[in-house]
Copies of this chain bind each other. A is one copy, B any other.
Amino acid sequence: MELVTGGAGFIGSHLVDVLVAQGKSVRVFDNLSSGREEFLAHHGDSVEIIQADLLNYDDVKAAMAGIETVHHLAANPDIRLGTEVTDTDLRQGTIATYNVLEAMRVSGVKRISFASSSAIYGEADVMPTPETYGPVKPISLYGASKLSSEALISAWCGTFGAKSWLHRFANIVGSRGTHGVIFDFIHKLKADPTRLEVLGDGRQEKSYMSAEDCVRAMVHLVDGVDEDVNLYNLGTGDTCSVRRIAEIVVEESGFENVSIEYTGGKRGWAGDVPKTSLDVEYLFSTGFVPSMQSEAAIRYTARALIDEIGL
């Protein structure tokens, strides 16, 4: 059986879809703080859902019974929150990961696939940024918690003998999104269809990947590569600017004469990385091919979220 933490969330629920399609039994562990049961409703009773918090160690330990691989995706999804509340990422990121690892250790569970992030690179001076880039200097508390979780997982593998897959995600977009720039833009347009405020100068430029491609890549790696610690960037190999995302969302909204306004400055907020570009040659070398590039993933996401949110 597979355990998916955050399995009712945005990316987690897509991963559950793929695992179920593979014929796997799936147990979801989610506190439903940003995840939603409706994202899993189409599976009926075939997916077990434990509504609990990773900070309650006893619940985490109980969830390990009969598990072969833990897919650890639960985390605070709101990177910006760290600028105001400083212990969220420490608790829901680093300490939650510790609880997962400790529960695995005492239960004899030996495989963990982890949703890390390109946020760990901070403002890298090599672009596209390969996995071998160092030293990594995250500039957000979210990025710090992802790097801390990678470190804990690596140490658990080295000390107690376990296998891990660390996936450093590009910006992941898609249906069931509960946060992020496209989600924000749609909500802003819904509130006022005449104007769209963009945080920063709009020239922030990042790698985007569809959630479907992302979870397909995760499973591809877990099934296909077999070092003790398997660490890969997950992305599409290209980038898209926030300015272009704003244009695409406006196009897909169908609203006319929307005034796109920029708050200015190179960052959307303190801790926002203005430009990220992931080197994904290592992923591609395993035979994985994404179905959509960044701009296609964004347009598809804009359509899906407009459909979900309604304008």
CA distance A123 to B137 in the complex (A): 21
Contact with B along A263-283 (1 / 0, CB 8 A): 000000011000000000000
CA distance A141 to B105 in the complex (A): 13
B-contacting residues, A74-124, CB 8 Å? 82-83, 86-87, 90, 94-95, 98, 101-102, 105, 120, 122-123
- A138 is an interface residue with CB less than 8 A from chain B: yes
The answer on a CB contact under 8 Å between A148 and B271 is: no
Q: How far is the CB of A147 from chain B (nearest CB, A)?
A: 4
The answer on a CB contact under 8 Å between B138 and A135 is: no
The answer on a CB contact under 8 Å between B90 and A159 is: no
Among residues of B, the one whose C-beta sits closest to the C-beta of A270 is B159
Report the interface size for chain A: residues with CB under 8 A from the other chain.
44
A137 touches which of B120, B144, B158 (Cβ 8 Å)? B158
Name the B residues within 8 Å of A229 (CB-CB). 137
- A41 is an interface residue with CB less than 8 A from chain B: no
Name the B residues within 8 Å of A90 (CB-CB). 94-95, 98, 152
The answer on a CB contact under 8 Å between A154 and B138 is: yes
CA distance A133 to B133 in the complex (A): 7
B-contacting residues, A150-165, CB 8 Å? 150-152, 154-160
Name the B residues within 8 Å of A147 (CB-CB). 147-148, 151
CA distance A266 to B102 in the complex (A): 26
The answer on a CB contact under 8 Å between B95 and A158 is: no
Q: How far is the CB of A291 from chain B (nearest CB, A)?
A: 27
CA distance A148 to B138 in the complex (A): 11
Name the B residues within 8 Å of A123 (CB-CB). 158
Q: How many copies does the complex hold?
A: 2
- A248 is an interface residue with CB less than 8 A from chain B: no
Q: How far is the CB of A184 from chain B (nearest CB, A)?
A: 20
Contact with B along A213-237 (1 / 0, CB 8 A): 0000000000000000101000000
Q: How far is the CB of A66 from chain B (nearest CB, A)?
A: 23
Name the B residues within 8 Å of A270 (CB-CB). 158-160
- A140 is an interface residue with CB less than 8 A from chain B: yes
- A143 is an interface residue with CB less than 8 A from chain B: yes
CA distance A155 to B90 in the complex (A): 12
- A139 is an interface residue with CB less than 8 A from chain B: yes
Name the B residues within 8 Å of A157 (CB-CB). 139
- A199 is an interface residue with CB less than 8 A from chain B: no
- Taking A86-B98, A135-B150 as given, write out 10 further A-B residue pairs in contact, using a Cβ cutoff of 8 Å, ordered by the A residue number: A90-B152, A136-B151, A137-B158, A137-B229, A138-B154, A139-B158, A140-B155, A141-B156, A144-B152, A147-B148
